[in-house]
Chain A
Amino acid sequence: MPPYDDWNRIDEEEEEELQDTSFFEGKRDVILFCIDCSESMLELRDDPNYEDTQTCHVYTALEAAMQIQKKKVIVGPNDFVGILLFNTTRKAETTRNGNGNQGSEIKRYTYLFQPIGPLNAPTIQEIIQLLDAFRENSDELKSTFPPLTGKRVAMGDVFTSCNWVLRDGAPKTATKRVFLITDEDDPHLGPGSKQLITSARTTLIDLTQSGVTVEPFFISTEDKPFEISKFYSSVLLPTNLTDEDEIDPSDPSVLPESISISRIEDLLSQMRFREVPKRAHFSIPFQLAEGFTIGVKGYGLVTEQKKGTYKYFVDLGDRMEVASVRTVYIDEARQLEVDSSTIVYGMALGAGPAADEEEEESAKDSNARVVKAGKRPFFTAEDIRSFRTMGLEPGIKLLGFKRRNELAFEDNIKHSQFIYPDEMTYAGSKRTFSALIKSLIKKKRIGLALVLTRRNASPTFCVLLPQEEKADEGGWSDPAGFHLIHLPFADDIRAASVVTGVRASDDLKDAARAWIDKLSVKNGAYPPDSYPNPALAYHNAQLEASAFREQYDPTTFEDLTLPKEEIIHKRAGTLMKAWKVALVNDKSADVVITPGTIAGTKRKAELTVDEAEIRSMYEVDNLGKMRVDQLKEFLRSKSQPVSGKKAELIERVAEWLDAH
């Protein structure tokens, strides 16, 4: 292996920053879409989805960019996005530069459609209008961005333009990426191509050195297949991995992993994979045993995506400004603000009557603990942290191995994390990690470890669930690594609340099995991709409408998580019906359940509330004749709330009967 110095220089900057902002979205993300506007990209072709409409690659690329912007604007409102077009003769109008974002002139035949900047409703609406105009008139894009005919702009110039645009528009600390979209696999035809390749390579290195990653999306079609070996494989650097911290040190330079060649239809889904820059949650040592430690990084592959929280705004007349919230700690009795560095920690002073006649002052001094001067029955913030961490330093400490089946379904408490080896902290991490995975998979074992991921977290026991590498034709593969599954502590485990129940007969079970078989997906699994969060999507759709100052039409919303009832009935309806009949005739249900008597509850007169009886009372509008306990019993049997006055109970019973 070459010495470290040679191969980890470039990404060190990133590495350092990563340490600072190891938690999630601390860093701003900047994406510059760099879209080829050549004739072939603008060539009209039949839309695969809609009949009688035409589309072109530029349209698809812009639409994908718009979709990404729409997502970004909600998920990362602080992220910056810009769009640069090349191979177009359109020139920058000076008015565009009026906002001062783009200081320098960029290269010829490249055009900055949207400068790098924070997202807002008007920029997104601008693209939407353009796309709509194209739908109306398919010449719109061609006339807005006239293509360069007969020749192509040198890729070196494109990279230089990207560099300038990013330099002027992007904040220094951000992760900066260029999404390059083109269908031309050999942009430098004719004489001087060698030189142009060299210049492309140098400018790309410049770009990389200023902390920018280029993520190419090469469009390949049947009549125009894309060959990366023609030009790009010799230009793109191995640093082009989406992986911000992976550089392959091996001498036979490894092919960049992330060069994606996609059909134009897949462009958006390809971009979605790379939409969020990969960031490690933690980078810690993994101690397999005393004196045998490797480095790993941890990622959150499964994290609940929540709705954003509202913010407080102040109307300043000309604009709405967000108010920042600041929490201060005050001594209530004195109404004095307390400096946070002097705060000490202790136990709540007990409730209850505190006043005591001998301490008259105590009324005034309530909520305070009085001790002799110089004594301090409280802990400092540092103490408190050590109680949580038990004095451990962040790291994963292996305790041993267990059989795979020792990991129970119910031993779960929060989402898992994923660890991947980190050669940058310990050389040899990858081979050790790789060998450990292979061994555990072979032996059907899992690891057990004590894990402290961050300095102010608390230690937990985790199962290390090995995952083998598996390629997926969808473009994304299961990476090799361990899932860290946080085990519940004894404190988190609740006892079963019900211990006995009546069981079904085999006949009834078989009847159920019949429709279960019909409704099973062969070789299916839980498909996360088929279930976008409907509540989140509904919220975001309304948020977008609100920002665009449009009226939201709820009927346009489709909830994909709803069960496909029609298919269910079509496939298994009759079997379900048969099961229901069998259930009614099942003998094992003829058991009188005596509700468990809880100490202290009064014994009640035997209550039998028949649904038919209640229904008949309801139909003749005579529910008022029922006793309160009967109504409650009925509601309870239907899992309805039993609180409130009689009138409310009657109303609730009526509602239920209405609904059923």
Chain B
Amino acid sequence: MVAERAGYTVTMFLIDTSPSMGTVRTVDLPPGPNGEAQTAEMTNLEWALQFVKLKIQEMIFNGRKTDQCGVIVFGSENTDNIINEKNGGYENVSEYIPVGQPNARTLAKIDALEPSSVCGDPIDALIVGIETQAEYLASKKTWTRKIIIVTDGESPIEVEDWEATVHKMDALDISLTVVGVDFDDEELPYTEPNKTVIKTANEEFYHTFIDAMKNGVVGTCAFALQETMRPDVKQTKSTLMGTVLRLGDVDTKSDEAIEIIIKTSKCTALARPKSWKKFAIRKEAGEDESSMKVDEDEDASVAYAQLKMRSEYYIDTTPEGEVDKDMDVKMEEEDESLLEEEEEGTEKPKEKPKKEHMEKVEKEQLVRGFKYGTTYAPCPDGQFPRLPTKKGIDICGFFLAKNFRRELSMGEIQYVWADPGSAQQQVALSSIVQALYEKDAMAIARWVTKDGMDPKMGVLKPVVFDEVDCLLWAQMPFADDIRKYTFASLDHLVNKKGELITEHPYIPTQEQLDAMDNFVDCMDLMDAGEKDEEGHRQPWFDTLLSYNPAIHRTKQALFHSAIVSDITTNPLPPPHPELLKYFNPPKRVLKRSREALEECKSAFKVKPVPKKVARIRQDGHVHALDEDDTLLLLDRKQPSPTARLQSRMDITVTEAEAEVSPTRAKAKAKAKPKPDESETESESEVEDEELLLSKKSISPPPKKPGAPLPTPERSLSPSADDMDIDIDRGRAPGRIIGTTYPLVDFRKNLERGDVVSKAVEDLGAVVTEIVMRPFASRRKGELMECLEALRDTCLKEDEIEAWNAFLEELKDKCTSEPGNSEFWSQVKEVGRSLSLISDKEAKKYGGTSDVSEKKANEFIS
């Protein structure tokens, strides 16, 4: 892989602005925030120009002075090109942007292109392009020449003598790319329906033309656009740095000491995402926010100004006593910026220092120095004299490669080559490389890159390539770089008596070990990749094909923001699939390991540890058991004034009773709506219920506030008459039916006559609520009664739709998780008389229903 010489290129863009380019097309945009499909309408020209802009953006991005481009349009209203000036002809071709290094303005000019009213000939434009490029490069013969034609192929082409043009281009070593709007492509695959005759002919011509060329390609625009987003590794050729490999004392024992002239070059080098420039809306001096809003009419524009960084220096004039606190703050900031620096490569602004204690100082007043604890250590130069060192790589010794600790390798790897200009040096290094290779050993070495530079320690590993021998350098840590933290042993657990423990939740059992072995085997990647030529499967994952998603995604976003005018209406397309191809294990492996995985899951039983917060709340619940607390809590949760009144009364009653006779209070707690349950059993259950329910009352779901607590009073007076005074009906705000005595409430409201719809709706909601609560089974009889009453009312009062809707919802809720399937089966037992109301039934009472008799039957079975 030899890198192409970057830059030194002139690319000519020939853009078709014939009338047909104005055809409007619908382009798919990335899905919106809710996953909905989005499209945009644009002309073919606008669409095709995206490709041109992306290409030019790449040049701007790389920022090379020697990477230049020019734009020629054909099908322009006027004619303005160098051949026409000299010889005439070549109508409707004009030089739109002269050759030069592109910038943001180039893109703006391209944006201004519009389809015209005349057709232009691409071959004319091509010849103009060749000439313009040739003239510009008259004195720069070695530059690379590229021409890109962007067209829809709908305009007539003068095909005569095209071979001459091909010869000319081959002679100049021009590479030609034809990007066609909706050209057919077998690989994409794409075939344009209803293609015009002329376009079919033109496409065919372009293919013939390109085939005749040494260096040409024709493709469809959709594919070209996709390809521009493909991650593209910027090939960097590592420079060879000269130095010396030494062994022994070359100064005093030069007869024995070895010195080889070598070159080093980088083997891996960390590439970072391109940094972003910072912008902010420019405000005119003296302008404030309000005046900004005033001119928000159609033509108003805002300027985003690029920001510059400036450092300001402050000193802390905080009185002594407060210093401590401030120091903490400062430290955090430092860390934050440290982190950012590492990530972004740029400095982040630190938090604004607290103004009141900070005093700005000019840079001239500052002296450099170090902190030695709290002591100032003067060092006006910013650094102390460096350790005197001598450039070169000194070998310190050798060791066997099997003892190399891979995890100590600290950074980028370097190649060490013998001087490419000296055969003797090559032979010398080769003999050492081969000897090391044969022995399977590595060298320990000390590298000084320049006289006086700080030395690094590392190892040299021999590498025998096809035609050359070299060494690889890996930097290794100094003693200072290693942290020897202690970790508890995973296997060796000892109890206080000093005995070894062999069985413990931390130590995997044999069954667990076997499950893991199986899992590891199934998740093997060695045969999970593509097949090679001989049909053998290759390992999955190759560093040479793994693109840094951050670099390429950032680049894509950078480009996108540069070519669109608004991010919100034209969001960034999804990342190229190539970037994500290693983000998940290969399907083949996942499929193969499914069983082993299940085995592992059940063998290891790993569970997330509940968060601390949850536990505090649990404590809170236990508290709520206290009767008074519960009631107070209830009180707080009652928003409607009547309900509040009721529960206040409630409290007084309870307290009074509790005072008079504790046993009675206890009896109240025991009392149950269902007399057939034994007392002892119910006691504990009531407590449970209260505990559980009170949990709900602490953080009730928004839909059902209110007081779901069954209060003890309900058993006191079952008659409906005096209930109103002293009982909490459990009515949610806005509801006319409470959870405590739903049926009584319902009947009462029906008697009023004017709130039937509301009563039906509320009873439905209340029943659903009760059913979904724990211990609903205790109120089964009551609930069935409610259902019967509700259905009856609905049928007679023409609330058929409401019943059918309610019942469907109830069924859904009961049968899904967390549901109450038990309750639903009880409904089913009742059968048809509680099912949906069919059209037949409805008719009897003069109503309508869209449910057939058959459906009503099936619904309940």
Do A and B pair up? The answer is yes
Query: A residues within 8 A CB of B308?
Result: 329-332
Which residues 261-309 of B have a CB within 8 angstroms of A? 261-263, 265-271, 273, 276-285, 295-297, 299-309
Q: Mark B448-479, 1 if CB is under 8 A from A, else 0.
A: 00000011010101000101111010101111
* A573 part of interface (Cβ distance < 8 Å): yes
Complex Cα distance A388/B438, Å?
44
Complex Cα distance A460/B495, Å?
41
CB distance from A30 to the nearest CB of B (A): 13
Complex Cα distance A410/B269, Å?
11
| Pick from B240, B244, B295, B520: contact of A439, CB under 8 Å | B520
Query: B residues within 8 A CB of A557?
Result: 387
Whether the pair A400, B528 counts as a contact (CB closer than 8 A) is yes
A interface residues, tally (CB under 8 Å) = 263
Query: A residues within 8 A CB of B105?
Result: 350, 354, 356
Which residues 534-581 of B have a CB within 8 angstroms of A? 539-541, 543-551, 553-554, 557-559, 561-562, 564-569, 575, 579-580
* B854 part of interface (Cβ distance < 8 Å): no
* A150 part of interface (Cβ distance < 8 Å): no
Contacts between chains A and B (CB distance < 8 A), count: 861
Query: A residues within 8 A CB of B499?
Result: 252
Whether the pair A312, B313 counts as a contact (CB closer than 8 A) is yes
Given contacts A328-B349, A351-B63, A509-B438, contact A497 B238 (CB under 8 A): yes
Whether the pair B506, A431 counts as a contact (CB closer than 8 A) is yes
Whether the pair B481, A428 counts as a contact (CB closer than 8 A) is no
Q: Which residue of B lies closest to A304 (CB)?
A: B481
Complex Cα distance A638/B263, Å?
11
Q: Mark B786-824, 1 if CB is under 8 A from A, else 0.
A: 000000000000000000000000000000000000000
Complex Cα distance A530/B423, Å?
37
Whether the pair A432, B604 counts as a contact (CB closer than 8 A) is yes
Whether the pair A427, B248 counts as a contact (CB closer than 8 A) is no
Whether the pair B516, A401 counts as a contact (CB closer than 8 A) is no
Given contacts A371-B304, A450-B583, contact A411 B482 (CB under 8 A): no
Whether the pair B400, A520 counts as a contact (CB closer than 8 A) is yes
Query: B residues within 8 A CB of A333?
Result: 282, 305
* B249 part of interface (Cβ distance < 8 Å): yes
* B172 part of interface (Cβ distance < 8 Å): no
B interface residues, tally (CB under 8 Å) = 266
Q: Mark A55-97, 1 if CB is under 8 A from B, else 0.
A: 0000000000000000001100110000000000000000000
Complex Cα distance A591/B267, Å?
28
Which residues 471-525 of B have a CB within 8 angstroms of A? 472, 474, 476-499, 501, 504-509, 512-513, 515-517, 519-521, 523-525
Q: Which residue of B lies closest to A595 (CB)?
A: B421
Given contacts A349-B104, A563-B446, contact A410 B550 (CB under 8 A): no
Whether the pair A326, B349 counts as a contact (CB closer than 8 A) is yes
Whether the pair A528, B417 counts as a contact (CB closer than 8 A) is no
Which residues 513-552 of A have a CB within 8 angstroms of B? 513, 516-517, 519-521, 523-526, 528-536, 538-539, 542-544, 546-547
Q: Which residue of B lies closest to A407 (CB)?
A: B406
Whether the pair A390, B561 counts as a contact (CB closer than 8 A) is no
Which residues 384-432 of B have a CB within 8 angstroms of A? 384-387, 394-400, 403-413, 415, 417-424, 426-432
Query: A residues within 8 A CB of B470?
Result: 496, 498, 501
* A45 part of interface (Cβ distance < 8 Å): no
Whether the pair A543, B377 counts as a contact (CB closer than 8 A) is yes
Query: B residues within 8 A CB of A538?
Result: 384, 386-387
* Stretch of A104-112, A160-168, A190-198, A440-448 contacting B (4+ beta carbons < 8 Å): A440-448
Query: A residues within 8 A CB of B383?
Result: 307, 310, 539
CB distance from A147 to the nearest CB of B (A): 30
Whether the pair B584, A593 counts as a contact (CB closer than 8 A) is no
* Stretch of B605-613, B644-652, B682-690, B763-771 contacting A (4+ beta carbons < 8 Å): B605-613
Given contacts A410-B267, A492-B548, contact A461 B343 (CB under 8 A): no
Whether the pair B481, A323 counts as a contact (CB closer than 8 A) is no
| Pick from A330, A508, A542: contact of B310, CB under 8 Å | A330
Complex Cα distance A293/B521, Å?
18
Given contacts A4-B609, A252-B501, A343-B278, contact A377 B469 (CB under 8 A): no
Whether the pair B420, A580 counts as a contact (CB closer than 8 A) is no
Given contacts A432-B508, A510-B435, contact A378 B544 (CB under 8 A): no
Query: B residues within 8 A CB of A399?
Result: 525, 541, 582, 584-585
Whether the pair A370, B415 counts as a contact (CB closer than 8 A) is no
Whether the pair B399, A526 counts as a contact (CB closer than 8 A) is yes
Complex Cα distance A519/B61, Å?
51
Whether the pair A429, B493 counts as a contact (CB closer than 8 A) is no
Complex Cα distance A492/B343, Å?
16
Label chain B's interface by main secondary structure.
mixed
Query: B residues within 8 A CB of A26?
Result: 331-332, 335
Which residues 706-754 of B have a CB within 8 angstroms of A? none
Given contacts A254-B495, A376-B566, A563-B394, contact A120 B304 (CB under 8 A): no
Whether the pair A250, B328 counts as a contact (CB closer than 8 A) is no
* B316 part of interface (Cβ distance < 8 Å): yes
Which residues 574-612 of A have a CB within 8 angstroms of B? 574, 576-577, 579-580, 583, 586, 588-593, 595-596, 599-600
Query: B residues within 8 A CB of A276?
Result: 483
Whether the pair A495, B413 counts as a contact (CB closer than 8 A) is no
Complex Cα distance A371/B281, Å?
10
Query: A residues within 8 A CB of B319?
Result: none
| Pick from B479, B484, B485: contact of A533, CB under 8 Å | B479
* B622 part of interface (Cβ distance < 8 Å): no
| Pick from A299, A316, A353, A390: contact of B550, CB under 8 Å | A390
Whether the pair B525, A400 counts as a contact (CB closer than 8 A) is yes
Q: Which residue of A lies closest to B409 (CB)?
A: A412
Given contacts A371-B302, A503-B430, contact A321 B316 (CB under 8 A): yes
* A118 part of interface (Cβ distance < 8 Å): yes
Given contacts A399-B584, A501-B417, A542-B384, contact A323 B366 (CB under 8 A): yes
Query: A residues within 8 A CB of B493?
Result: 248, 250, 254
Whether the pair A301, B485 counts as a contact (CB closer than 8 A) is yes
Whether the pair B486, A476 counts as a contact (CB closer than 8 A) is yes
Whether the pair B483, A300 counts as a contact (CB closer than 8 A) is yes
Whether the pair B335, A426 counts as a contact (CB closer than 8 A) is no
* B858 part of interface (Cβ distance < 8 Å): no
* A54 part of interface (Cβ distance < 8 Å): no
CB distance from A115 to the nearest CB of B (A): 14
The 6 closest A-B pairs by CB, nearest first: A639-B242, A350-B103, A119-B373, A458-B550, A547-B372, A535-B454
A-B residue pairs in contact (CB < 8 Å), sample of 18:
A252-B496, A254-B495, A254-B501, A289-B519, A290-B597, A312-B367, A313-B366, A320-B376, A324-B315, A325-B311, A328-B312, A373-B302, A390-B550, A432-B516, A497-B237, A510-B435, A526-B408, A529-B479
Taking A345-B278, A428-B605, A569-B248 as given, write out 4 further A-B residue pairs in contact, using a Cβ cutoff of 8 Å, ordered by the A residue number.
A325-B312, A368-B282, A533-B478, A534-B387
